[in-house]
Amino acid sequence: MTDPGTLSASAVLSAVVLVSAITVLVSTYGVRLSRSTGDFYVASRRVSPRMNASAVAGEYISAASFLGVAGLILVEGTYGLWFPVGYTAGFLTMLLFIAGPLRRSGAYTVPDFVTLRFASPRLRMLTVMLVVLTGWLYIVPQLHGASLALSATAGLPEWAGPAAVVLVVLATVMPGGMRSVTIAQAVQYWIKLSALLIPLVFILLRMGVFGGAQAQAPDFSAVWEGSGLGSEDFYRTVSLILALMLGTIGLPHILVRFYTNPDGDAARRTTFLLLSLLAAFYVLPVALGVIARAVLTDPGVQDSPDTAVLQLPSAVFEGAAGDLLTAVVAGGAFAAFLSTASGLVVSVSGVLSQEFFGGTVRGFRIGAVLAVALPLAISTATSHVALAGAVAMVFTFSASAMAPLLLLGIWWSGITAQGAFAGMVTGAAASLCSLAVGLRVGEGAPGAVVVLYPALWCVPLAFAAAMLVSRFGSGRPPADTTSVLARLHLPERS
């Protein structure tokens, strides 16, 4: 991308400042409502389904969704379409198998659920470690995205974007915890939706889609050429969908959201509404990605595909119109970084506070600082990985390490603490080692797709380890398994 002009850079910075100001101001309203420890951790379990659905959508639509999907479609064509399908399908899995039982558990965090279900301090500590690691791994791509977006559109140094995100997130999270973050994230969903919808409408008008002169109308006839589905692509696609579907249910910042609903029925209604919000949003980056594939034909664009959505307005419009629409997109992208990062910080700081700082409000605030410190250091010391690819790796880890614990813990009475421990260790170790090898050898190496997209074998391996150790190991299911499962699955009494 060429260096941004003065007007473009000023417009982008103004949009970023405006989004940051709205986020902080809206969160201050939540601070006024935060009076107890429960407000900080789960907003006193009084968040309505409509508000919660908007908030979950706000934190779920990350850098990979806002920028990465269109960039992936630009580079790889039809393969990129599977990302929004998988992202949305993950919440269908959540709706069917997780949302109601998890809320009825009454836990504040995933480790609290583990204690309720297994009463194992060792398993709880492992869960704490994996939840924190998942959160850290997922924060890094958000900071990389902020670095990429602000350096490409405003000419800022690479450290400026991550630093700005961290400062705004801490200003949002530390004063009011979950209560303030919930309101901010709900608003941020609609900011992100508008930030892609407005440029898309103007671009389609410019192309004459709604009638009128077809100025700069691209040729879409060959837009999907070279994007067929070969044998390796078939494996990669199936593995990706599995990672996204099961990885969603293991993401700590998504799981903690269902603790904020008043009851299990509200948690299910939240998920149903959420599916509608996600479906409405994901139409937009897909449409922009298709247009970008037809319009951004310069081979140099593919060197940085995650900037495709940021480059598209200036490629279609000249002068101030292109600059202003670019600023709108950049503001929406910054909202994506803020909302996902703040959700992750809340979930990680909640776990750290519960485990190491007595579950106090002060401990929550210390945990928030610890939650962003390491990802900030990593993001400034490492090079960018394609956003969609980086997030897919996190989903693979989550699906392998956390999904067996939750699905078997909720739905199988025969799982033991030893079995759950074995499944989590097996899934975490297999996915991390495989992804490390895959990054080392690169996509061009023979058979690299198997280690770069390992969910198709890592997830079954983790489930098998958990079930075999539970079935043939020396441990036994907890004595209160029947009563706990009844609590998870029977409707609450009014």
d(CA 219, CA 354): 57
The answer to whether residue 421 is domain-embedded is: no
Which CATH number covers residue 272?
1.20.1730.10
Q: Where are the alpha helices (DSSP H) in 357-480?
A: 361-381, 387-401, 403-411, 417-441, 448-452, 455-472
The answer to whether residue 154 is domain-embedded is: yes
Is this model's pTM higher than 0.75 or not?
yes
Q: How far apart are the first and last CA of the chain?
A: 58
Provide the 10 A C-beta neighbour count for residue 13.
19
List the structure tokens of 165.
């995100």
Tens of pLDDT along the chain (494 residues) come to 445 656 678 899 999 999 999 998 888 876 665 555 555 555 555 677 888 889 889 988 888 889 889 988 888 887 788 888 888 888 888 888 887 888 788 777 788 899 999 999 999 999 999 999 999 999 999 999 999 889 888 888 989 999 999 999 999 888 777 777 888 889 999 999 999 999 999 999 888 766 655 555 566 655 555 555 555 678 888 999 999 999 998 888 777 776 677 776 777 788 888 889 998 999 999 999 999 888 887 766 767 788 889 999 988 888 889 999 999 999 999 999 999 999 899 889 988 988 888 878 888 889 999 999 999 998 887 766 677 788 889 999 999 999 999 999 999 999 999 999 999 999 999 999 998 888 788 777 777 889 989 999 999 999 999 999 999 998 899 999 999 999 999 876 65
The answer to whether residue 92 is domain-embedded is: yes
Burial class (CB in 10 A: 0-12, 13-18, 19+), 210: exposed
Type of residue numbered 193? L
Helices 387-401 and 455-472, interaxial angle, to 10°? 10
The tally of CA atoms less than 13 A away on the side-chain side of residue 64 is: 27
Q: Where are the alpha helices (DSSP H) in 110-159?
A: 110-118, 121-154
| Phi (first) and psi of residue 338, to 5 degrees | -65, -45
Query: The domain containing residue 336 runs over which residues?
Result: 6-385
Type of residue numbered 369? V
The answer to whether residue 452 is domain-embedded is: no
The answer to whether residue 403 is domain-embedded is: no
Q: What is the pLDDT of residue 63?
A: 84
Q: What is the pLDDT of residue 40?
A: 56
Query: 70 by DSSP, 3-state: which?
Result: helix
Count structural domains, the chain. Answer: 1
Contacts of 61 (CB under 8 A, 6+ apart): 189, 192, 278, 281, 336, 339, 340
Q: What is the pLDDT of residue 167?
A: 95
Contacts of 364 (CB under 8 A, 6+ apart): 40, 41, 177, 349, 350, 353, 357
Q: What is the pLDDT of residue 20?
A: 93
The answer to whether residue 216 is domain-embedded is: yes
Chain centroid to Cα 41, Å, comes to 19
Chain centroid to Cα 458, Å, comes to 21
Burial class (CB in 10 A: 0-12, 13-18, 19+), 358: exposed
CA angle 474, 477, 480 (to 5 degrees): 145
The answer to whether residue 157 is domain-embedded is: yes
- Cβ atoms of residues 143 and 261 within 8 Å: no
Type of residue numbered 142? Q
The answer to whether residue 116 is domain-embedded is: yes
List the structure tokens of 130.
């994996």
d(CA 287, CA 194): 14
Nearest of 103, 141, 139, 199 to residue 342 by alpha carbon: 139
DSSP states along 377-398: HHHHHS----HHHHHHHHHHHH
H or E element: which one contains 29?
Answer: helix 6-33
